[in-house]
């Protein structure tokens, strides 16, 4: 049997795409391997959101030159977000002549045809589709986990935050039909899935491209009715489209995870405006306070960019103040990275690296004690944990997530994987909880 290896970087959208690619290759009679020496096809599913991700894949591809010389029949492919950008694609193809196959995020269904063409001709095959309407929704996914699954509810992004490359890699926003999504989730539940994570770059604008009056809270309500499903999560929510109706959904829907990931990016109105985020810090805080009032036990997480062009010490201080006001459970923090083709890339006034790093450290020093303090509130509580896997550091310890998506470690065995168990929290750290199973 021929074998494939997929190397995935980037967000959940890419992880799900890799599962779809696996499914397509499975149907072609290939099987998966982790060993590049055994692989007949090696694919890199790439992310373009920051320059560092690009440099890493560039290096990894270079390292495969030697393998390709020894085994010229191996198909070396590169796909995903980076390949949707003509400039990056051309750069890679000009520097790495040993690439055999290039495809993108919207044409995974064409893979069998592209591979056959590559084998027949021996030439480098490049096939990119820009239009998200071409995505074939009949492609299934070879799921990594049996008990949890990602589900696309929409494709693309129309927000054009000035720093971000995603609208130029993932194309125009398109919502999937609710019936298709619900059918897909029902099938997943029949096969044993307990938790779904709904994916979209801005799930709060779900429904805008549908020909009916149906929005994200409607979809959540319908998914909540699916019998056998235990947990619903979603990523990512944009503050500008965050509505009272969504708060209501959190209150009413028993399966909706009490966790909100609401990327703020900056606490400075001046920077938010330059970022084209379309909300102010006051509006953000108002929305957070409104939901906290109704759901005091909600975990709130965010994304923050440090060193956006022109960010002053005062702007940065506004971010620190906002972090203190909101009290985030945790945050993904990023150093601003210039992405060619975006509007912010044209701003000349860059923040020097040293200042960026120094601010980044101050941000972490603010976030971490808050995270620890919020976790300490959970000491002695009993949490419902979906057991995910054996801990990487200790085979006698299992890891899983609470309803609010916090990572928990507790002593247990592999037979618990995929089950929801009660864990009493006995010890907490900044990023994890520890406890004992109690039934």
Hey, is 164 helix, strand or coil? coil
Q: Does residue 350 belong to the site contacting ligand SAH (CB under 6 A)?
A: no
CA angle 274/280/284 to nearest 5° reads 130
Tokens standing for residue 308: 């956006």
Residue 47 interface partner, choices ligand SAH, ligand SF4, ligand F3S, none, CB cut-off 5-8 Å depending on type: ligand F3S
Closer residue to ligand SAH in complex, CB, 34/354: 354
Non-local (6+) Cβ contacts of 97 within 8 A are: none
- Nearest distance, CB of residue 84 and ligand F3S, angstroms: 8
Among the listed residues 326, 315, 241, the one whose alpha carbon sits nearest the alpha carbon of residue 278: 241
Tokens standing for residue 49: 């959101």
Q: Does residue 303 belong to the site contacting ligand SAH (CB under 6 A)?
A: yes
- Nearest distance, CB of residue 305 and ligand SAH, angstroms: 5
* Type and span of the H or E element at 17: helix 12-27
What residues between 253 and 272 interact with ligand SAH by CB under 6 A?
263, 265
How many binding residues for ligand SAH (CB under 6 A)? 17
Closer residue to ligand SAH in complex, CB, 77/263: 263
- Nearest distance, CB of residue 132 and ligand F3S, angstroms: 12
Q: Does residue 11 belong to the site contacting ligand F3S (CB under 6 A)?
A: yes
3-state secondary structure labels for all residues of 88-119: HHHHHHHHCCCCCEEECCCCHHHHHHHHHHHH
Closer residue to ligand SF4 in complex, CB, 155/410: 155
End-to-end CA distance of the chain: 44
Non-local (6+) Cβ contacts of 90 within 8 A are: none
Closer residue to ligand SF4 in complex, CB, 102/164: 164
Residues engaged in binding ligand SF4 (CB under 6 A)? 157, 159-161, 164, 166-167, 201-202, 238
Count of CA atoms in the C-beta half-sphere (13 A) of 252: 14
- Dihedral sign from CA coordinates of 359, 362, 368, 369: negative
Q: Does residue 47 belong to the site contacting ligand F3S (CB under 6 A)?
A: yes
Closer residue to ligand SAH in complex, CB, 202/383: 202
Residue 167 interface partner, choices ligand F3S, ligand SF4, ligand SAH, none, CB cut-off 5-8 Å depending on type: ligand SF4
The residue whose two tokens read 């020093």 is 365
What residues between 172 and 231 interact with ligand SAH by CB under 6 A?
201-202
Site string for ligand SAH, 236-255 (x = CB under 6 A): x-x-----------------
Among 166, 189, 193, 421, binds ligand F3S (CB under 6 A): 166
- Nearest distance, CB of residue 103 and ligand SF4, angstroms: 21
Burial category of 183 from C-beta neighbours within 10 Å (exposed 0-12, middle 13-18, buried 19 and up): exposed
d(CA 373, CA 383): 17
d(CA 1, CA 31): 7
Which residues in this chain contact ligand F3S in the complex, by CB under 6 A? 10-11, 13-14, 47-49, 81, 165-166, 169-170
Which residues in this chain contact ligand SAH in the complex, by CB under 6 A? 49-50, 163-164, 166, 201-202, 236, 238, 263, 265, 303, 305, 334, 336-337, 339
């Amino acid at each position: 049997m021929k074998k494939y290896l997929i190397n995935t970087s980037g967000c959940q959208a890419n992880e799900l795409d890799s599962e779809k690619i696996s499914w397509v290759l499975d149907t072609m009679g290939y099987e998966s391997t982790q060993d590049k020496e055994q692989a007949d096809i090696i694919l890199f599913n790439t992310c373009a959101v920051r320059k560092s991700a690009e440099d890493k894949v560039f290096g990894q591809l270079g390292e495969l030159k030697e393998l390709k010389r020894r085994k010229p029949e191996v198909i070396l492919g590169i796909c995903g977000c980076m390949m949707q950008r003509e400039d990056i694609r051309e750069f890679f193809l000009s520097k790495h002549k040993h690439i055999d196959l290039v495809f993108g995020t919207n044409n995974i269904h064409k893979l069998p045809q592209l591979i056959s063409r590559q084998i027949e001709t021996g030439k480098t095959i490049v096939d990119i589709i820009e239009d998200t309407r071409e995505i074939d929704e009949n492609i299934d996914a070879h799921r990594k986990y049996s008990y949890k699954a990602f589900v696309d509810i929409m494709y693309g992004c129309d927000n054009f935050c000035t720093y971000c490359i995603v609208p130029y890699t993932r194309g125009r926003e398109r919502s999937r039909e609710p019936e298709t999504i619900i059918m897909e989730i029902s099938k997943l539940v029949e096969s044993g899935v307990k938790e779904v994570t709904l994916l979209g770059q801005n799930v709060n604008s779900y429904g805008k491209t549908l020909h009916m009056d149906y929005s994200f809270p409607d979809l959540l309500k319908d998914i909540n009715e699916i019998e056998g499903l235990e947990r619903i999560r979603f990523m990512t929510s944009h503050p500008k489209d965050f509505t009272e109706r969504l708060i209501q959904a959190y209150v009413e829907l028993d399966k909706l995870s009490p966790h909100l990931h609401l990327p703020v990016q900056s606490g400075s109105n001046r920077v938010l405006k330059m970022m084209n985020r379309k909300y102010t810090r006051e509006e953000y805080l108002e929305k957070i306070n409104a939901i906290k009032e109704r759901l005091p036990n909600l975990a709130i997480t965010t994304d923050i960019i440090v060193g956006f062009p022109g960010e002053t010490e005062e702007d940065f201080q506004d971010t620190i103040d906002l972090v203190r006001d909101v009290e985030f459970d945790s945050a993904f923090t990023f150093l601003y990275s210039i992405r060619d083709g975006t509007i912010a890339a044209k701003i000349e006034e860059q923040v020097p690296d040293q200042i960026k790093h120094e601010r980044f450290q101050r941000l972490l020093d603010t976030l971490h004690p808050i995270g620890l303090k919020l976790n300490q509130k959970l000491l002695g509580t009993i949490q419902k944990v979906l057991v995910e896997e054996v801990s990487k550091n200790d085979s006698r310890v299992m890891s899983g997530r609470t309803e609010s998506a916090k990572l928990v470690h507790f002593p247990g065995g592999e037979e618990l994987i995929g089950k929801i168990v009660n864990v009493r929290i006995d010890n907490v750290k900044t990023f994890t909880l520890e406890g004992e199973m109690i039934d």
